Structure 1
């Protein structure tokens, strides 16, 4: 029954995307069906085939090696604060874990590895292969196909750098597709961090995050073309092999050592931003809860998390969660949308045992795997506005809609996973 509930949710979420979209009569039913089939097929291949599951087991081992390497660096610099041997007896289990010194520095290492893999020309052919596959199956232009494929590995600002020469030429539908792709995925720099947080709760968490990143590409195309369908017979950018599409966006590393330095510098900016945002946003939530505490209790204290839980609970139910679990899951979705996915994943990792069953936990991993929140919107609008200042007004007008499309995309992935599990 829960699988049928998830199947109903897939249809309902796509219908919601259509209702909230524009130019509804221009939506191509054929393209939507192909997009849904490709997204489902991607999920089946990556989740159900045994040899693929074995491959993602190897990815989990690689993530474990990266986490261990990061721990070696943090324990050397920070000592026991960074995960080194404690100079005293631990009285409270888990009290030795310090997020800022042990988990977050993984972002530094991943930033360097990503920069190196682009400099060594390992990732560009993979990105281009994904772009060609999206072009041929879903009929999109090479430029947006390349940007969407790059979102599998890069963030919402870095991926569009691949197609910077074309951004000003994109149609409204293509521009929205680029924005949805950014909102519906996460960067490789934080993937390992999130996998580290959830590995105690979900077996092969790292593999599932990789699957979510890959699934996010066709799912984002499907939802964006329903919400803002193409009204012109234009495919900007020719093919993904166009030489004007850069292979090394804004890195320009001249050597391996230069790539390490540039990756470290970028990672420092990201790390400081993450720490600052966590401090501010957690403090704001605490402040909001203090204000809400002044209201009369209704079956318990009123908190921001509880309110968000009731608002987003129907969406979680549509993904296939039992109703008693939909409210706490809805709180996570609300936190992810209003604040950001990192805080939501941290809250996820701290849920009391039994709050969500294993199937619900897996669905929520996929449903929260995206940058669709108001903080990310500011980053993306600012970045795209600099790349194409003549399109800034249109980018701004599509901003809130892209949060909705990004959220619907990740929820759609959660519902599809619910059908398959």
Structure 2
């Protein structure tokens, strides 16, 4: 608990050091944002981890994952047969070898995208976003436009959420735009929630509740970090109008959502192929070097050594810090999906249940180099007049997203040891 608290302080100091503006003396820091952000993180995490009724509510969401997986598997089995999870027309000697990530697990993204589009058309998703935006506005003093955009990141993702406030993007302050970028990189899209939960279910009890809680907690964490790195020095941008769906009816919304989900599906497939190939190429190159500590040097070992102190600071015991550091490195350099898959594949003795829980929160974000390119392309298209400004702030926004997600892991580490 003590070194987790130290980690929280170190992350805040790191955010201040990496900032575009460094308020000094410290009395000039936006303390309402800092204290409000920390308070929300501990409050939400405390509810999820310590309050039985609310914990049961969050964890009960896992029934939705199972229902969505079952429904998706029915569709993939019908379309792809045994490759999609249907009965095999022959005797199976090794059932685990019959699993296909592309044809059995990833199609869940398409189903969730279609359902999200339907909920957006019915106006349900907008109401949920507005509820969370009001919470952020009241506790942290945000303007309405940033409050809506930040709350949207929890459910919609870093490109879809700015659509909620597209008319305000051109007039938002530089600090608000940076905070929106940082929040987008620190959260995940609702279309990915169930996919990540399905991957982590074998090693994290009630995985969906934790994944959802992580995405919610990351929003105030990112706003806190963004306020330290680039404090506001202008009046906040108002604006609370929520957009309506462009779909003509519910069927049209489902069709639009399915098409968007299909594009996301192929994007994930392509990125996984390339990223796994790049890791293999890097390891093949490193294998040409002399052994280190009696074993071949690999990218995973190098990342583990470099980021082991970071893993220790967020609450992972030192004996497990190298393993955790490698996972954090995979998440930052490649993506969180590969990191979650790697963690799920580890033997039980490699990481304790407490360490796995900390890493689930710390790695549950889009803060990686690939997402920076997506963010620049998406926001630059929505607001072309500020493309150069968006590009200039992108790497600092990535740092803010990484620090925010690690901060949430630290908060969980503190509460989990109490």
CA distance in 1, matches of 2:209, 2:191: 15
After superposition, the CA RMSD in angstroms is 1.2
CA distance in 2, matches of 1:69, 1:361: 28
Q: TM-score if structure 1 supplies the norm length?
A: 0.95
For residues 59-103 of structure 1, the C-alpha deviation after alignment (integer angstroms, 9 at most, x for no partner) is 001111001111111111111111112333333352221111111
Q: Are the counterparts in 2 of residues 183 and 372 from structure 1 also a CA contact under 8 Å?
A: yes
Matched, 1:398 2:393: yes
Matched, 1:17 2:18: no
CA distance in 2, matches of 1:372, 1:115: 25
| Equivalence map 1:363-382=2 (5 Å) | 363-382=358-377
Q: Are the counterparts in 2 of residues 216 and 410 from structure 1 also a CA contact under 8 Å?
A: yes
Q: Which residue of 1 aligns with 2:172?
A: 170
Work out which of the residue numbers 243, 258, 267 in structure 1 matches 2:261.
267
Distance 1:353 1:88, change over 3 A: farther
Matched, 1:216 2:218: yes
Q: CA deviation at 1:58?
A: 2.1
Work out which of the residue numbers 269, 282, 286 in structure 2 matches 1:292.
286
Q: Which residue of 2 aligns with 1:384?
A: 379
Q: CA deviation at 1:308?
A: 1.3
Indicate the SS of the match to 1:173. helix
Q: What runs of 5+ residues in structure 2 fail to find an aligned partner?
A: none
CA distance in 1, matches of 2:79, 2:376: 37
| Equivalence map 1:29-108=2 (5 Å) | 29-108=31-110
CA distance in 2, matches of 1:231, 1:360: 39
Indicate the SS of the match to 1:349. helix
Q: CA deviation at 1:132?
A: 1.1
Greater mean deviation of Cα atoms: 371-380 or 307-316: 307-316
Indicate the SS of the match to 2:349. coil
Indicate the SS of the match to 1:151. helix
Q: Are the counterparts in 2 of residues 162 and 247 from structure 1 also a CA contact under 8 Å?
A: no
Work out which of the residue numbers 408, 413, 419 in structure 1 matches 2:414.
419
CA distance in 2, matches of 1:409, 1:81: 39
Q: CA deviation at 1:247?
A: 3.9
Q: Which residue of 2 aligns with 1:246?
A: 243
Indicate the SS of the match to 2:35. helix
Counting matched residue pairs gives: 411
Indicate the SS of the match to 1:152. helix
Q: Are the counterparts in 1 of residues 32 and 140 from structure 2 also a CA contact under 8 Å?
A: no
| Equivalence map 1:297-336=2 (5 Å) | 297-299=291-293, 300-336=295-331
Q: CA deviation at 1:128?
A: 0.5
CA distance in 2, matches of 1:57, 1:298: 43
CA distance in 2, matches of 1:199, 1:88: 29
Q: What runs of 5+ residues in structure 1 fail to find an aligned partner?
A: none
CA distance in 2, matches of 1:40, 1:247: 34
Q: CA deviation at 1:47?
A: 2.5
Q: Are the counterparts in 1 of residues 179 and 223 from structure 2 also a CA contact under 8 Å?
A: yes
Indicate the SS of the match to 1:127. helix
Q: Are the counterparts in 2 of residues 27 and 230 from structure 1 also a CA contact under 8 Å?
A: no
Q: CA deviation at 1:406?
A: 0.4
Indicate the SS of the match to 2:157. coil
For residues 135-179 of structure 1, the C-alpha deviation after alignment (integer angstroms, 9 at most, x for no partner) is 111001111110110011111100011111011111111011000
Work out which of the residue numbers 175, 180, 187 in structure 2 matches 1:185.
187
Distance 1:173 1:321, change over 3 A: same
CA distance in 1, matches of 2:35, 2:364: 23
Greater mean deviation of Cα atoms: 313-322 or 19-28: 19-28
Indicate the SS of the match to 1:202. coil
Q: Are the counterparts in 1 of residues 376 and 390 from structure 2 also a CA contact under 8 Å?
A: yes
Q: Which residue of 1 aligns with 2:4?
A: 6
Q: TM-score if structure 2 supplies the norm length?
A: 0.96
Work out which of the residue numbers 336, 341, 351 in structure 2 matches 1:341.
336
CA distance in 1, matches of 2:95, 2:353: 23
Distance 1:416 1:247, change over 3 A: farther
